[in-house]
């Protein structure tokens, strides 16, 4: 019997074949001339229409989540804004899904498809919320579930939020493989897929990302039905990009012209794969350590071509500080009577700041919330930060340095949404996509890059000249 080579390079080299067996998808069929791949063909080939996703999700109590107007936070934003300013602030309460987050929409699609194809179990690589969603859906569908999670640093110390998510996955019946931080996450997933023959319930598959389209579609229709109009802006927490991509595609299908704004916690200066930096942050998702690299290089995941392509859909990308998100989390609880997990309040923090720049007749929506739990509350996270040498204080959040301090706004007027340079993100994407090429790109390749970056052929050509 010939033993398979289990070295890192060999396993990663078999990635296409492993994924084909674990998903029933041959990604090579979408490759076209040069650097081009057919994104829309990949999305269409998932085999599920928007109506199919709605039917599947409703059958397992996912979706159709409520929209709430935050009257008190709106009043506070208007008090801080100039005359005639201060948009109405809303949230879509995704915490009401069975496992407590929007990610149940993509999990419902993936797990349903796995059962339809006859797989006995599902595997997902995730920091937590998606794992709980996959575990919940697998329990409903009677499938085995393994969640692979980066959980600890090399001293076996883990953040309260991540440990809480692992606890929830196990409570919902999943086996959780807990890893220390490093580059081996997707390697371990590929090994398990080969060994078990389970389905790869990837965060980045067309099944999962198209499942999120129902969220944007619901938003568009809910506002028309309840308020007789579309929202003007929808703020999406942006990490791997699937949340924003799926929501934006759903808004388009609902005929909703709202601006789509990505939001992430500013963790610049912290390397996400660094053992030293792992416990020096208080947010494990929806931060710049994921949001920026996945926007500019979406295909470094557990599938050859990611369905999450945020640059195709994003109008703006803003950042907020850790202290500001904790502040809004507390404000949401004390002003609106809603306790939600801090990571899910990233988009709300940005929406609160952005509302002050908009007219009072406009509407801005924080597109998702998430559940809270023992380790996800403010106090355990801040206690853990203090234990790791992070200074906690009130002041000006502009002075916050990720990994060194967390600065809560001394007063609410100090909260800001800070724009990232979208053109620079586009240039980074184009540089990565063309790295190593020693030839001129064809007009078709240039048009493809313009579509990928939501720019123009002229913009791409100028980037290539430089």
Secondary structure element (H or E) that encloses residue 7, with its range: none
3 within a domain of the structure (yes/no): no
5 within a domain of the structure (yes/no): no
Facing residues of 175 across strands?
A: 146
| Nearest Cα residue to 199 out of 52, 44, 18 | 18
Is-contact 261 224, C-beta < 8 A?
Answer: no
Is-contact 241 235, C-beta < 8 A?
Answer: no
Chain centre distance of CA 68: 22
Is-contact 328 352, C-beta < 8 A?
Answer: yes
pLDDT value at residue 374: 78
279 within a domain of the structure (yes/no): yes
Q: Rounded to whole angstroms, how far apart are CA atoms 154 and 275? A: 7
Exposure of 194 in the CB half-sphere (CA atoms within 13 A): 18
pLDDT value at residue 124: 93
pLDDT value at residue 252: 98
pLDDT (tens, 9 = 90+) of the chain, 466 residues, equals: 567 888 888 988 888 889 889 998 889 999 999 999 999 999 999 889 999 999 999 999 999 999 999 999 999 999 999 899 999 999 999 999 999 999 999 999 999 999 999 999 999 988 678 999 999 999 999 999 999 998 888 888 888 888 888 889 999 999 999 988 877 788 899 999 999 999 999 889 998 999 999 999 999 999 999 999 999 999 999 999 999 999 999 999 999 999 999 999 999 988 877 888 888 898 888 899 999 999 999 998 878 899 999 999 999 999 999 999 999 999 999 999 999 988 789 999 999 999 999 999 999 999 999 998 878 889 999 999 999 999 999 999 999 999 999 999 999 999 999 999 999 999 999 999 999 998 999 999 999 999 999 999 999 999 998 7
pLDDT value at residue 2: 62
CB atoms within 10 A of CB 15: 17
86 within a domain of the structure (yes/no): yes
Is-contact 188 179, C-beta < 8 A?
Answer: yes
Facing residues of 146 across strands?
A: 123, 175
Q: Are residues 373 and 230 in the same domain?
A: yes
pLDDT value at residue 376: 86
pLDDT value at residue 115: 96
Give the list of residues 6+ apart from residue 225 with CB closer than 8 angstroms, or none.
none
pLDDT value at residue 132: 93
Whole-angstrom CA distances from 30 to 26, 27, 35, 305 are 8, 6, 11, 9
| Residue range of the domain that includes 450 | 431-465
pLDDT value at residue 117: 94
Q: Rounded to whole angstroms, how far apart are CA atoms 217 and 228? A: 15
pLDDT value at residue 161: 86
Q: Rounded to whole angstroms, how far apart are CA atoms 42 and 207? A: 10
For 236, phi and psi rounded to 5 degrees?
-115, 125
Q: Is 85 left (phi over 0), alpha (psi -120 to 50) or beta?
A: beta
Helices then strands (H, E): number in the chain? 19, 13
14 within a domain of the structure (yes/no): no
Q: Are residues 380 and 394 in the same domain?
A: yes
Q: Are residues 188 and 250 in the same domain?
A: no
Q: Are residues 237 and 169 in the same domain?
A: no
355 within a domain of the structure (yes/no): yes
Question: Strand pairing of 199-200 and 363-366?
Answer: unpaired
Secondary structure element (H or E) that encloses residue 122, with its range: strand 121-125
pLDDT value at residue 224: 96
Is-contact 152 182, C-beta < 8 A?
Answer: no
The single-letter DSSP state of residue 315 is S
Q: Are residues 403 and 291 in the same domain?
A: yes
Q: Are residues 89 and 122 in the same domain?
A: no
Chain centre distance of CA 455: 22
Total of domains in the chain: 3
Q: Are residues 321 and 249 in the same domain?
A: yes
Can you give the CATH number for the domain in which 172 is found?
3.40.50.1100
Which of 163, 178, 208 is the last residue before a domain boundary?
Answer: 208
374 within a domain of the structure (yes/no): yes
Q: Are residues 220 and 163 in the same domain?
A: no
Is-contact 316 422, C-beta < 8 A?
Answer: yes
Q: Are residues 258 and 357 in the same domain?
A: yes
């Amino acid at each position: 019997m010939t033993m398979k080579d289990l070295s890192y390079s060999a396993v990663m080299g078999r990635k296409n074949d492993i994924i084909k067996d674990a998903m029933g998808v041959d990604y090579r069929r979408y490759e076209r001339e040069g650097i081009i791949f057919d994104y829309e063909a990949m999305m269409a080939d998932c085999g599920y229409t928007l109506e199919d996703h709605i039917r599947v999700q409703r059958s397992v109590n996912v979706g159709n989540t409520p929209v709430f107007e935050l009257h008190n936070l709106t009043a506070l934003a208007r008090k801080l804004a100039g005359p005639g300013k201060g948009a109405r602030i809303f949230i879509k309460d995704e915490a009401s899904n069975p496992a407590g987050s929007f990610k149940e929409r993509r999990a419902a699609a993936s797990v349903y498809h796995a059962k339809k194809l006859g797989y006995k179990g599902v595997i997902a690589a995730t920091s937590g919320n998606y794992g709980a969603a996959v575990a919940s859906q697998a329990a409903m569908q009677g499938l085995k579930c393994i969640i692979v999670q980066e959980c600890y640093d090399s001293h076996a110390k883990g953040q309260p939020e991540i440990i809480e998510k692992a606890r929830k996955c196990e409570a919902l019946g999943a086996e959780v493989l807990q890893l220390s931080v490093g580059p081996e996450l997707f390697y371990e997933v590929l090994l398990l897929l080969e060994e078990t023959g389970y389905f790869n319930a990837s965060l980045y598959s067309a099944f999962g990302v198209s499942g999120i389209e129902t969220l944007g579609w619901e938003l568009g229709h809910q506002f028309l039905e309840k308020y007789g109009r579309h929202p003007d802006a929808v703020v999406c927490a942006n990490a791997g990009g699937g949340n924003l991509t799926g929501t934006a595609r759903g808004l388009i299908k609902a005929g909703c012209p709202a601006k789509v704004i990505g939001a992430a916690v500013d963790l610049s200066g912290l390397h996400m794969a660094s053992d030293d930096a792992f416990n020096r942050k208080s947010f494990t998702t929806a931060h710049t350590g994921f949001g920026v690299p996945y926007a500019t290089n979406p295909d470094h995941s557990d599938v050859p071509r990611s369905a999450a392509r945020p640059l195709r859909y994003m109008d703006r990308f803003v950042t907020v500080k850790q202290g500001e998100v904790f502040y809004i989390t507390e404000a949401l609880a004390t002003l609106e009577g809603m306790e939600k997990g801090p990571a899910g309040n990233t988009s709300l923090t940005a929406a609160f700041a952005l509302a002050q720049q908009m007219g009072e007749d406009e509407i801005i929506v924080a597109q998702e919330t998430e559940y809270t739990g023992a380790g996800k509350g403010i106090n355990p996270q801040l206690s853990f930060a203090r234990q790791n040498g992070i200074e906690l204080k009130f002041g000006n959040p502009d002075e916050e340095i990720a990994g060194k301090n967390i600065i809560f706004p001394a007063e609410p007027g100090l909260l800001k949404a800070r724009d990232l340079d979208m053109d620079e993100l586009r240039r980074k994407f184009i540089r990565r996509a063309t790295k190593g090429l020693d030839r001129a790109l064809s007009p078709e390749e240039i048009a493809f890059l313009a579509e990928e970056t939501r720019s123009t052929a002229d913009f791409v050509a100028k980037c290539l000249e430089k």
